[in-house]
Structure 1
Amino acid sequence: MVQQERAARTRRALIQAAAEVFAEVGFVHASLGAISQRAGVSNGALYFHFANKSMLAQAVEAEAAESVRRLTEGARARQGDSLQAVVDATHELMGTLARDVVVRGGFKLAGDIARPAKSPLRKEWQRWVEDSLRLAERSGALADGVSWADAARVIVAATTGLEVLGAKDASWLSRQNVTRFWELLLPRLTGRRALNTLVCSGSRPPADLPARAQPQLTAPER
């Protein structure tokens, strides 16, 4: 049991270290020596768990994908098929990118065009957003003339841009920045009645800030 726990800790340290190195220099320039040194383990210990760099990258991506899956499923469980689930998931994804290096490393790998294997991580996020917007359209939550496909493209493009920019400047991932995005988009995306029920800053305020009344948005005349 002790040996298994030690092996699990070593594997976890290697995934964490690999994510940090991938996030900093990308897949091609990351070396196994740098990763093992960052993890504080020998090269032999690294090769015991991962035969090569590609296997390490896959482990980082798998853990990042599970984190994204948990946050999207959580948003859907709390908010159902409403647009609030998409707003909340966007805030949580950006917050997770800011504080979780494994998720950050996973998305860095997903966008690394020099990497031989293509990551499904961004595609999984895109599929979830598309599915959510289809449900929103079906329930009548989208404004007249707005298609789920167009709305999904805008949201996926914007969140991908925030993720890429946030890798260099974390302010792009801030709650305030994501809130401004939704304040601009939601009045075009949904009708007046639905708009008054949506919280652009997310339905779960940060633990370190007091909850406060959110400003009401007004849908534009159509």
Structure 2
Amino acid sequence: MARQSRAIRTREALEQSAAEVFAREGFVRASLPLISQAAGVSRGALHFHFGSKDDLARAIEKEAGARMERVLARVQENQGRAALQLVVDATHGLMEGVANDAVVRAGFRLDADVARESSVDLWGRWRAWVRAMLVRAERSGGAGGPGCPGSRRGARSSWP
């Protein structure tokens, strides 16, 4: 049991250090020796958990995607709020993650890195969610929702 616990801690340390290095250096300049050194583990331990730098990047992107989805889920719990307010709240939550969470910051940097193909498409998922919320806002009578100044009930949609 102690061995399994140590393996979990090692993997978590590798993911955190990889996120910090990817966020700071980008995919190309990040090196496995730098990541393992930052985590305080051997390169052998790194290769035990991750077969390649791309495998490690995919794990970071996947976790960043999960964290983004948690932000969106928390925001959507406020169903009574106007859709545009949900977009504002989600943007604040996501930007807080980018500012304070190396995994989220690295996930978005990796997703936009032209040196590799993203496995998660964080930017695409974010754009799709925002678009869905803006369509919802428009269908509910305008950007602010029913009863909000500037509401355009009956106005022709500009969305395709």
Report the TM-score, using the length of structure 2 for normalisation: 0.86
Change (3 A) 1:2 1:14: same
CA shift for structure 1 position 117: 4.2
Instruction: Specify the alignment match of 2:85 in structure 1.
Output: 84
Instruction: Assess if the C-alpha contact under 8 Å between 1:81 and 1:136 holds in 2.
Output: no
Aligned alpha-carbon RMSD (Å): 2.0
Instruction: Specify the alignment match of 1:157 in structure 2.
Output: none
Deviations 1:186-208 (A, max 9, x none): xxxx479425xxxxxxxxxxxxx
Structure 1 runs not aligned, ≥5 long: 143-189, 196-218
Q: Partners in 1 of 2:110 and 2:87 — Cα distance?
A: 24
Report the TM-score, using the length of structure 1 for normalisation: 0.63
Q: How does 1:53-202 map to 2 (within 5 A)?
A: 53-80=53-80, 82=82, 83-117=84-118, 119-142=120-143, 190=144, 193-194=147-148
Deviations 1:8-50 (A, max 9, x none): 1111111111111111111011110000000000011100100
Change (3 A) 1:116 1:76: closer
Aligned length: 150
Instruction: Assess if the C-alpha contact under 8 Å between 2:23 and 2:106 holds in 1.
Output: yes
Q: Partners in 2 of 1:117 and 1:91 — Cα distance?
A: 24
* Matched AA of 1:69: E
Q: Does 1:9 align with 2:13?
A: no
Change (3 A) 1:52 1:43: same
Change (3 A) 1:113 1:77: same
What is the SS of the residue equivalent to 1:73?
Answer: helix
CA shift for structure 1 position 4: 1.7
Instruction: Specify the alignment match of 1:145 in structure 2.
Output: none
Instruction: Specify the alignment match of 1:43 in structure 2.
Output: 43
Instruction: Assess if the C-alpha contact under 8 Å between 2:61 and 2:119 holds in 1.
Output: no
Overall identity of the aligned pairs, in %: 52
* Matched AA of 2:148: A
Change (3 A) 1:75 1:192: closer
Instruction: Specify the alignment match of 2:154 in structure 1.
Output: none
The answer to which structure, 1 or 2, has the higher relative contact order (CA under 8 A, 6+ apart) is 2
What is the SS of the residue equivalent to 1:141?
Answer: coil
Structure 2 runs not aligned, ≥5 long: 151-160
CA shift for structure 1 position 119: 4.4
Q: Partners in 1 of 2:145 and 2:129 — Cα distance?
A: 22
Q: Partners in 1 of 2:93 and 2:10 — Cα distance?
A: 28
